[in-house]
A and B are shown apart, each in its own frame.
Chain A
């Protein structure tokens, strides 16, 4: 995989997570208090930095075949989860993750919660909401950056891709002061699911000792194969559920999925 493809894959994956984190942060900041929200975000970023500082060097010490086996398995499992969700949403069997709806639910929960000061934080609810949202979405970003970056030997390209995604989404969010409801989240999730599954399969099998036909070029067959099978399942499910809303692309689905009010993403 060349560096541009690596950066793009990480960018799209991290943008999906950043959109979801932004929704939670905006709900906490706009309805509760910005200072406690920023404290929660900062605390989550510190925890993420510690995870990166601990995991990053540790991962580089593990033999590459063992690393590829474990990381490949995890990526393939992640990819399967993302593809499953994206296909179920695209075919109307699971409601779309709607950022506007998620935002309204978070706002309602934030308004209903009591204000409590704890441990130097003015508003503990805003703090924990922002902390959980940023930490949970951030962990996925860290995982994707470390696994793709270390496996490809281009950790900085992956970091740049992730940082660009976070900066772009945060910038747009600050400008709009509203959740990014128009981002085609399901289509992005579908694409990233294909990439995670393909690379997870490739690295996992290599870690198990397989020699892929054509070596790295096998990815050029594997990625389209995963995409075709996933699209095939999408078509089959749409046919099976004829009568429910028909949709033209994996981003479309008829209904919106409510957010979980605890700050836990439903992504």
Chain B
């Protein structure tokens, strides 16, 4: 179990890093983009960059708000 826990922690830290919200935002934006493109037939090229800019700002704001 300890080995599994270490394995999970390693990959979580490697892929997700310090702020899981950034990862969730990217994945959610990609899902919404795919839905817009394939279901609503909207070429939503702008959605992912805007989401990433917002995620970066949000993450920085959270990080600086909690650090003196």
Across the interface, which residues of B come within 8 angstroms of A85, CB to CB?
18
| Closest Cβ neighbor of A204 among chain B residues | B30
Across the interface, which residues of A come within 8 angstroms of B38, CB to CB?
209
Contact (Cβ within 8 A) A88 B60: yes
Interface residue A225 (Cβ < 8 Å from any Cβ of B): yes
Interface residue A74 (Cβ < 8 Å from any Cβ of B): yes
| Closest Cβ neighbor of A205 among chain B residues | B48
Contact (Cβ within 8 A) A225 B49: yes
Across the interface, which residues of B come within 8 angstroms of A213, CB to CB?
45
Kindly state the separation between the CA atoms of A222 and B49 in the bound complex, as whole angstroms.
8
Give the total of A residues in contact with B, Cβ under 8 Å: 41
CB-defined interface of A31-74 with B at 8 Å, one 1/0 digit per residue? 00000000000000000000000000000000000000100111
CB-defined interface of A182-210 with B at 8 Å, one 1/0 digit per residue? 00000000000000010011001101111
Contact (Cβ within 8 A) A81 B18: yes
Across the interface, which residues of A come within 8 angstroms of B30, CB to CB?
69, 72-73, 204-205, 207-208
Contact (Cβ within 8 A) B34 A209: yes
Contact of A201 among B19, B52, B60 (CB under 8 A): B52
| Closest Cβ neighbor of B47 among chain A residues | A205
Interface residue A212 (Cβ < 8 Å from any Cβ of B): yes
Q: Given A77-B16, A201-B52, A209-B34, A88 and B44 touching (CB < 8 A)?
A: no
| Closest Cβ neighbor of A241 among chain B residues | B64
Across the interface, which residues of B come within 8 angstroms of A136, CB to CB?
14
Q: Given A84-B19, A209-B34, A210-B37, A73 and B27 touching (CB < 8 A)?
A: yes
Interface residue A105 (Cβ < 8 Å from any Cβ of B): no
Kindly state the separation between the CA atoms of A93 and B64 in the bound complex, as whole angstroms.
7
| Closest Cβ neighbor of A225 among chain B residues | B49
Kindly state the separation between the CA atoms of A218 and B46 in the bound complex, as whole angstroms.
11
Interface residue A121 (Cβ < 8 Å from any Cβ of B): no
Kindly state the separation between the CA atoms of A229 and B56 in the bound complex, as whole angstroms.
9
